[in-house]
C-alpha cells in the first residue's frame, strides 16, 4: 500500500492539476448533440475552449452564462434562464450539460432549482434534456469532474428501476478519462467482434476523433452517445466500468440495471485485457475471434523483443489517479520500476498503487524527487517537456493537455494492440538513450596518439577541492558528472562539476565543485554553476537549456551536448588529440623559415596572372 505524502508548500509551481470543470466539459463532449454550458465568468469557458482546441486541434462547442461582478453579488439565476433559452432556440440541441465553476459554487448557486423554474416558465423547451453537474475548481481535479458527469447522467437520465424486458445484445461501457478516442474505437471493435452492440458513455470516438465532418461548424457535438441509448442503459445485458474513478458511477448503474457491472481499473495489462475479452466471450456465447488472438500473440512477441531494453528501468510519472494506476501496473508487468510518482490530488485510491510513496503536488515536486531518485523515463503531459529536457529523460506523453505533438490525442494505449505499440515506443526510446561507446583505437597503429594520463581516482571532496594551481594550463574544460567518470547530468541539475586542465602532453585534474541540488528559482541554481566555470572554455553535459547556453556564451564558455554516460576519459583523449594536432601544425609553421617567401611568391603569381586565363 502506497503512502500519500502531503507537502506543506503554500503554492503550486508548474501545476499538474487541471480543474473539475475541464473534466466535466470533456465528458460532456461525448454526449450526442450536446452543448456544455459553463455557469461562470466568460474567462472560464474561454480558457477551457483554448485548452481543448490545443489538445484536439478541432473546434469545441462550449458556451457560458457570462457571470459578471453584478450578477455574482446579486444572483445569476437570470443568466442561466437567458443562456438556456437562447441555446434552445438558436442551436436546437438534444441535451445541455449545465456545470458549475468555483465562482458559481462560492456564490451558492442552486442550479437544480433554477432548471426546475426554467421548465415551468419555458414549457416549449421540454424536449431538450438538461443535466446539472457540480464541478467546483477548488475541490478535486479533472478526474473528479469527468466522473461527476457520468454520475449525474445515471442519476438524472437513467430510470431508477429498469423497464421490463432486456436488450440481450447490448453492453454498456463506462470509460474513464484515461481512454482516448483511439482507445474507445478499439473497445467498440472488441465488443462488436462478439456480435454485441456497445453503448459507450461518454463516446468521444464519435465526436472528438479528429474526423472532417460535412458542412459548416456545428454548435453542438457531432456524434457521441445518443440520449435514447443513455435512457435505455438499464435494460442492457451487462455493463463494464473501466477506470477506478468510476466506482460510484458503476454502483449507481448497478442499482438501475438488470445485468451485472464488471469494474476494471484499465486495460493496460495482459491480465485485465484477458478478463475483458473472456467476459465478452462468456456474455455472447461465442469464441474469441482470430484477429483478437493474433493481436494477443503480437503483444507477447513484443514483450519478448523489448524486455532487454525495459527490464529494471525506472519510470517517473505525473498524472491523474487513473492514469497513474494504469501506467504503474503496465510498468510492473513489463519488469520496470514505477516511481517517483506525483498526483494532482491526494485521493484515497492512490494508496492502492504498487509503490512506496505518492506525492500530491506539482512538477516542481517531481523535479525535487528526480534529483534524489533518478529515473530513466518520464510519463506526463506536454507541460513536462522542460523537465524532461532538464534531466535528459524521454517523455511519454499522457493525460491532458497534449499540445506539442500531432495525433497524440488519439494514440491507442489500451488493449492488446495499444500495449504492443507502447512497448515498441518505450524500447525505441531506451535504445536511443543507450550509453555511448567510444571508438576503439589500437595502440599499435601508425601515427599513434601521445601518451595519455590514466583516469585518476578521486579523493573525497566537500564543496570545492583544488588539485593544482590552474593558471599554468592553456585549456580548461568542465564536465557535468555525478560519479567523476561519466558525463551523466543536465547542467542545471548536476550535483558536481569536474574541471580538467589540458595540454598537448598531459591532462590533469584541476578542481571538483559540488553543489547542493535542491528546488528553487532557476537563477539560484544556475548562478553558482556558471561561476564555477570561470576560466573554462568548454562544458560537456547531457543537456542544457537554450537560455543557459546563451548565458554561457556571453562569459566565454561553449556548452557541448554528449550522450548520457559518455566516459570523461574518452572526451579528454579526443580533446588532447585535437590539441596535439593543432600544436603540430603550429610547430611545423615555426620550423619553416621560407614560409613567408613562399607565400609572397604565391601572392605575386596570383597578381601577375591574366584574369582572362
Q: Could you report the per-residue pLDDT of 208-223, keeping only the tens digit for each?
A: 988 887 777 788 998 8
413: pLDDT strictly greater than 90: yes
Q: What's the pLDDT at 601?
A: 62
Q: What's the pLDDT at 593?
A: 62
pLDDT digit string, tens, across residues 584-601 = 565 555 556 665 566 556
Name the segment(s) of the chain with CATH classification 3.30.420.130: 464-590
End-to-end CA distance of the chain: 87
Q: How far is CA 583 from CA 71, 357, 474, 499, in A?
A: 80, 56, 12, 22
Compute the average pLDDT of residues 423-446. Answer: 72
The architecture that CATH gives domain 20-139 is 3-Layer(aba) Sandwich (3.40)
Q: What's the pLDDT at 203?
A: 95
Q: What's the pLDDT at 595?
A: 59
Q: Is the dihedral of CA 602, 605, 609, 611 positive or negative?
A: positive
581: pLDDT strictly greater than 80: no
Q: In this predicted structure, which of 117-131, 377-391, 432-446 has the lowest mean pLDDT?
A: 432-446
Q: What's the pLDDT at 520?
A: 47
Compute the average pLDDT of residues 172-199. Answer: 96
467: pLDDT strictly greater than 50: no
Compute the average pLDDT of residues 328-332. Answer: 96
Burial class of residue 215, CB neighbours in 10 A (0-12, 13-18, 19+): exposed
Q: What's the pLDDT at 446?
A: 55
pLDDT digit string, tens, across residues 481-531 = 988 889 988 888 888 899 988 876 778 888 888 886 554 445 566 788 888
Residues 6+ apart with CB under 8 A from 419: 268, 269, 270, 273, 299, 302, 330, 413
- Asked whether 12 and 133 are in contact (CB, 8 A), the reply is no
Three cell numbers written together for 608: 601577375
What is the percent of the chain where pLDDT is above 70? 85
- What's the chain's average pLDDT? 86
Element (H, E) at 477: strand 475-480
Q: In this predicted structure, which of 127-141, 351-365, 449-463 has the lowest mean pLDDT?
A: 449-463
CATH code of domain 464-590: 3.30.420.130
- Asked whether 230 and 251 are in contact (CB, 8 A), the reply is no
Q: What's the pLDDT at 281?
A: 96
Q: In this predicted structure, which of 2-6, 68-72, 168-172, 536-540 has the lowest mean pLDDT?
A: 2-6
418: pLDDT strictly greater than 60: yes
Name the segment(s) of the chain with CATH classification 3.40.50.1980: 20-139
Q: In this predicted structure, which of 210-224, 299-313, 356-370 has the lowest mean pLDDT?
A: 210-224
Q: What's the pLDDT at 194?
A: 96
Amino acid at each position: 500500500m502506497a503512502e500519500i505524502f502531503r507537502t506543506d508548500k503554500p503554492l503550486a509551481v508548474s501545476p499538474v492539476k487541471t480543474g473539475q470543470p475541464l473534466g466535466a466539459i470533456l465528458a460532456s463532449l461525448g454526449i450526442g448533440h450536446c452543448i456544455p454550458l459553463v455557469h461562470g465568468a466568460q474567462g472560464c469557458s474561454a480558457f477551457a475552449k483554448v485548452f481543448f482546441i490545443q489538445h484536439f486541434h478541432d473546434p469545441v462547442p462550449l458556451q457560458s452564462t457570462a457571470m459578471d461582478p453584478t450578477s455574482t453579488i446579486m444572483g445569476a439565476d437570470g443568466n442561466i434562464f437567458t443562456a438556456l433559452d437562447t441555446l434552445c432556440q438558436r442551436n436546437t440541441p438534444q441535451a445541455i450539460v449545465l456545470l458549475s465553476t468555483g465562482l458559481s459554487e462560492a456564490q451558492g448557486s442552486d442550479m437544480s432549482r433554477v432548471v426546475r423554474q426554467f421548465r415551468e416558465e419555458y414549457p416549449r423547451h421540454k424536449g431538450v434534456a438538461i443535466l446539472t453537474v457540480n464541478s467546483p475548481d477548488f475541490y478535486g481535479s479533472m478526474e473528479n469532474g469527468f466522473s461527476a458527469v457520468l454520475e449525474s447522467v445515471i442519476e438524472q437520465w437513467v430510470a431508477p428501476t429498469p423497464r421490463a424486458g432486456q436488450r440481450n445484445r447490448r453492453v454498456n461501457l463506462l470509460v474513464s478519462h484515461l481512454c482516448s478516442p483511439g482507445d474507445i474505437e478499439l473497445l467498440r471493435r472488441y465488443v462488436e467482434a462478439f456480435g454485441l452492440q456497445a453503448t459507450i458513455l461518454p463516446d468521444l470516438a464519435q465526436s472528438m476523433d479528429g474526423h472532417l465532418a460535412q458542412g459548416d461548424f456545428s454548435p453542438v457535438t457531432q456524434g457521441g452517445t445518443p440520449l435514447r441509448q443513455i435512457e435505455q442503459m438499464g435494460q442492457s445485458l451487462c455493463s463494464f466500468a473501466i477506470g477506478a474513478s468510476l466506482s460510484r458511477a458503476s454502483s449507481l448503474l448497478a442499482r438501475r440495471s438488470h445485468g451485472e457491472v464488471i469494474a476494471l481499473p484499465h486495460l493496460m495489462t495482459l491480465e485485465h485485457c484477458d478478463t475483458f475479452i473472456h467476459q465478452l466471450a462468456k456474455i455472447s456465447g461465442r469464441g474469441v475471434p482470430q484477429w483478437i488472438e493474433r493481436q494477443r500473440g503480437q503483444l507477447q512477441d513484443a514483450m519478448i523483443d523489448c524486455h532487454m531494453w525495459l527490464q529494471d528501468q525506472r519510470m517517473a510519472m505525473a498524472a491523474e489517479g487513473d492514469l497513474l494506476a494504469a501506467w504503474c501496473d503496465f510498468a510492473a508487468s513489463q519488469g520496470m520500476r514505477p516511481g517517483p510518482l506525483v498526483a494532482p490530488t491526494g485521493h484515497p485510491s492512490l494508496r492502492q498503487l504498487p509503490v512506496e510513496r505518492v506525492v500530491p503536488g506539482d512538477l516542481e515536486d517531481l523535479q525535487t524527487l528526480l534529483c534524489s531518485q533518478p529515473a530513466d523515463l518520464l510519463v506526463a503531459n506536454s507541460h513536462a517537456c522542460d523537465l524532461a529536457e532538464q534531466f535528459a529523460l524521454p517523455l511519454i506523453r499522457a493525460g491532458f493537455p497534449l499540445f506539442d505533438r500531432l495525433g497524440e490525442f488519439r494514440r491507442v494505449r489500451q488493449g492488446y494492440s495499444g500495449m504492443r505499440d507502447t512497448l515498441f515506443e518505450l524500447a525505441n526510446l531506451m535504445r536511443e538513450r543507450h550509453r555511448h561507446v567510444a571508438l576503439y583505437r589500437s595502440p599499435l597503429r601508425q601515427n599513434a596518439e601521445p601518451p595519455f594520463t590514466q583516469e585518476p581516482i578521486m579523493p573525497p571532496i566537500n564543496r570545492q577541492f583544488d588539485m593544482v594551481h590552474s593558471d599554468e594550463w592553456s585549456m580548461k574544460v568542465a564536465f557535468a558528472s555525478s560519479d567523476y567518470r561519466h558525463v551523466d547530468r543536465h547542467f542545471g541539475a548536476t550535483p558536481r562539476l569536474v574541471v580538467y586542465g589540458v595540454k598537448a602532453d598531459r591532462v590533469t585534474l584541476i578542481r571538483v565543485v559540488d553543489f547542493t541540488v535542491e528546488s528553487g528559482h532557476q537563477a539560484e541554481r544556475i548562478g553558482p554553476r556558471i561561476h564555477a566555470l570561470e576560466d573554462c572554455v568548454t562544458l560537456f553535459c547531457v543537456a542544457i537549456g537554450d537560455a543557459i547556453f546563451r548565458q554561457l556564451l556571453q562569459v566565454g564558455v561553449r556548452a557541448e551536448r554528449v550522450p548520457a554516460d559518455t566516459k570523461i576519459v574518452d572526451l579528454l583523449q579526443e580533446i588532447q588529440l585535437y590539441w596535439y594536432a593543432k600544436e603540430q601544425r603550429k610547430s611545423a609553421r615555426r620550423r619553416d623559415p621560407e614560409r613567408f617567401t613562399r607565400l609572397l611568391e604565391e601572392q605575386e603569381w596570383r597578381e601577375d596572372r591574366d584574369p582572362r586565363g
